[in-house]
Every structure is written in structure tokens, then in C-alpha cells.
Amino acid sequence: MTVAALSLFAGACAQAPAVPEGADAALTQGRDVWSARCATCHGPDGGGGTGPRLNNGQVLENFPDAEDQTTVVVQGRNNMPSFSSVLSDEEILAVVRYSREVLN
């Protein structure tokens, strides 16, 4: 298989779910952050991998309060890295919203 075909194949499998049409820009930003920073461990669709599953309502169940979820992303926890020096507050809020509203 050629390199081009391989990367096409990887691209087809590694898509984070799209933001609904007409959603605000923060969700699109959140999807970009998710794809770049989180999908490797949590799976492109949030289905889990090295990190736990966040989709199918899991994140809403574990974090009824979004602020508690934000704290994990900011500070890290066990093998979950801290993103406070990697992402801006705005990016962290955006990715937390994406996981709650789109991965859901």
C-alpha cells in the first residue's frame, strides 16, 4: 500500500464527530483541540483508548458539573496529563464543551 493510501485510510478512521451546523465557533474550536490533543488517548470519537471513554453520556454522568471536568483537564489526574501550560483557558473550555455537547 502506498503512503498516500495509508494516510487516507488513517484519515477516514480518525475523524472526530462533526459539530452540528449552525453551532457556535467555540464548539468548532473545541473539536480542533480534541483532534489535536485528546483523540490519541481517548479515541477520535471519545470511545476510549489509553484514556477512558468520554462519549455516550459517560462524561455527563461522571461530571454533572462541567467545572469538575475542566479541573481534570487543567490539572491532570494520574496518567491524564495537565493541559494548563499547553492550552489557553478558552481552548480548555471549548474542548470541555465539545466533549459534553458533541461527543456527549
Taking CB under 6 A as the criterion, the residue among 35, 72, 100, 101 binding ligand HEC is 72
String of contacts with ligand HEC for each residue 34-53, x by CB under 6 A: ---xx-xxx-------xxx-
CA-nearest of 45, 29, 52, 38 to 81 is 38
Taking CB under 6 A as the criterion, the residue among 8, 9, 14, 62 binding ligand HEC is 62
CA dist 99 → 1, 2, 5, 6, 73 (Å) = 34, 34, 30, 28, 12
Cell numbers that stand for 58 in this block: 459517560
CB of 25 to ligand HEC, least distance (A): 18
Taking CB under 6 A as the criterion, the residue among 8, 18, 24, 77 binding ligand HEC is 77
Our CB check for ligand HEC shows the closer of 78 and 85 to be: 78
